[in-house]
Structure 1
């Protein structure tokens, strides 16, 4: 890229000279007045143009005679035109601007006082792509910028490992523990329609009955008599796994059903799904609970991973009236964003028990593990093991 300077008593004259010398492909960079008639006897303007030269050499100094008939310039003098190659400088400026643009905080977050260092840009982009809560992103970034030793900032792997460590600290996890002797556990799965409660129960029943090597006796109770095919689906699974199934249609029948399963180590209760905004149906589940309130029942809220955090919060808000103890996330194979799960679990302080990563029973079930969720986060996809 060459820069050429042309002078004339008017901008039009100077521009005409530039076009005659350089052609129509010249790009005008600047036009300015460099002298006036009061000081030097005549006005004088400078036009600077840029031109890409291919196969044509310019000398670093070039004389241009502007004493032409139409220039109206008396006593013409050769004018020295300095030619500079600004290609490298322009490319450097473009690269610097791109870096600055990437490091500026996204205005949508309304957090303007934080500039992301170049070393953290790739991680910051991961937080954005994973729809991580903006306030949590801000806090994590600010803390990391302040705490990460300077010696580690130049090492991308060390930077990634540091962020993984921070994420591991904010993800609440409930680890799977074996039952104590003579202990039994009743687990009620609650949540909206279509999140996969019945399929998740089938996976868990198969896991505890056959995959842990503990010879656990497992029973299933269903309260879902509303959804077409719900009972038939569970009956098909329990027949294959040779597990007892109790069908309960009224709240007062639940205690008798649980009594019939008293020899089971694990009892899973499947509930009818409903919209998180259908308070009446949610309260109906509460009616069942009240009939057996003397029994310790663990409530696990089952939620889909492929919805935004505001929807997760709405689900939690309305189902929390049932007393949510833990979380299970389904449909991890149907999303590429996992920041909403981490943010939501951290905000609600409810530990995650399991992840469902597909429809296959019992294989598509992952025991809660922060490393698994962080790997999904870092790769923008469900990482199957």
Structure 2
């Protein structure tokens, strides 16, 4: 079998970055070229000052008769076509938007794989990619980190893997958004929604205990709390909450309809500080069930916070669907449960970043009232698998008050 050896003389492509050179080559030759050498250069500025870095890629194009791919096709503007398609199909259809988002993600995945063809990545970038993959970060998130490495790190910087790794940990932390402040207006209604089996009921009990003991330090009475459940579907759901309520001295009521909910809110809003609402776990594909639950939770007048409850162990594609479908509830943030059941938090970090969502609380066990904490970047970072974490550094960067 004959080898596909290039025969044309070597040529040089210049660009601001290594990726820029490769992009220019692909725009001309597709994949029909062979890279010989890649170098970082410094060009002289005026009077020898202001040296500017650039890259040179030495290559040879393949002979026309040996080329395997056609010339590259014109660039397809996905976002413009997506906008036209949405406009032509009713604009606000959430199912259509979900389908287009999935297609967009597929396109990004293909682009990432194509971008890596015929390029010789430095060993440090290869190692970082592998670390991110092992932690279940999405291809899109990984590519964003790699692009930042290429943009901000010189070839000399890439020789120091530990320094690059430390920067990557910082960038991951910067991408994690958390809720900074509690609402101060009372009474407030806190509603937990989410799919089945993620621990909503236990999380409601933990939050109830947290608020009831919120100001007990110094002898000041804690917040007055009432729990309402609308979960009539799961066997034993109400009894489970009533057991928790009895142990904590917190009353529990059942609402089976929107009218029940409004009556209970009217009845208790003047006597309590916090009303916690537990809901039925619904599959994100149960559109009828979600719509019915949304009608019951159409709360008026009282300040309301809605948290989407998801498991830390949920894979990225499912998280994306859950977060998209539960948008109808107008949730402001996430409660991430079962943090103790996985060492791979890349999926949740990636999709939170993709959807621009914050995290409010983490839970990591069944014990009430413990096993719940405010969400922090530090907690997520120290749980990354196989990354070398400088705990003192990330505490200073992300917890300036020194909280662990």
CA contact (8 A) 1:171 1:346 kept: yes
1:272 aligns with 2:280: yes
User: Which structure has the larger Rg?
Assistant: 1
1:372 aligns with 2:372: no
Change (3 A) 1:315 1:228: same
Change (3 A) 1:219 1:149: farther
TM-score (norm 2): 0.63
Find the aligned partners of 1:151 and 1:242 in 2 and give their Cα distance. 63
1:159 aligns with 2:164: yes
1:199 aligns with 2:171: no
Any idea what the Cα deviations from partners look like across 1:242-269, whole Å, max 9, x if unmatched? Answer: 0121211121011221123223222110
Q: Out of 135, 158, 173, which is 1:168 matched to? A: 173
| Structure 1 position 187, deviation (Å) | 0.9
Aligned to 2:193: 190
1:354 aligns with 2:366: no
1:343 aligns with 2:346: no
Find the aligned partners of 1:308 and 1:111 in 2 and give their Cα distance. 24
1:218 aligns with 2:225: yes
Aligned to 1:256: 263
1:21-60 map, 5 Å: none
| Structure 1 position 115, deviation (Å) | 4.6
Any idea what the Cα deviations from partners look like across 1:142-163, whole Å, max 9, x if unmatched? Answer: 2123203666544444323211
| Structure 1 position 369, deviation (Å) | 0.4
Aligned to 2:115: 112
Change (3 A) 1:189 1:152: same
| Structure 1 position 196, deviation (Å) | 0.6
Any idea what the Cα deviations from partners look like across 1:44-81, whole Å, max 9, x if unmatched? Answer: xxxxxxxxxxxxxxxxxxxxxxxxxxxxxxxxxxxxxx
Q: How many pairs are equivalent?
A: 274
| Structure 1 position 233, deviation (Å) | 0.4
| Structure 1 position 166, deviation (Å) | 0.8
Where structure 1 has 5 or more consecutive residues not aligned to the other structure, the ranges are 1-105
Question: Could you say what secondary structure the match of 2:177 adopts?
Answer: coil
CA contact (8 A) 1:225 1:249 kept: yes
Change (3 A) 1:371 1:138: same
Question: Could you say what secondary structure the match of 1:376 adopts?
Answer: coil
| Structure 1 position 206, deviation (Å) | 1.0
Aligned to 2:249: 242
| Structure 1 position 111, deviation (Å) | 4.1
Aligned to 1:325: 332
Where structure 2 has 5 or more consecutive residues not aligned to the other structure, the ranges are 1-108, 392-403
Q: Out of 142, 149, 153, which is 1:148 matched to? A: 153
Change (3 A) 1:117 1:318: same
CA contact (8 A) 1:175 1:368 kept: no
Find the aligned partners of 2:208 and 2:201 in 1 and give their Cα distance. 11
Find the aligned partners of 2:275 and 2:385 in 1 and give their Cα distance. 36
Aligned to 1:209: 212
Question: Could you say what secondary structure the match of 1:246 adopts?
Answer: strand
TM-score (norm 1): 0.66
> In angstroms, what is the RMSD of aligned CA positions?
2.5
CA contact (8 A) 2:189 2:277 kept: yes
Find the aligned partners of 2:128 and 2:225 in 1 and give their Cα distance. 44
Aligned to 1:9: none
Find the aligned partners of 2:111 and 2:156 in 1 and give their Cα distance. 32
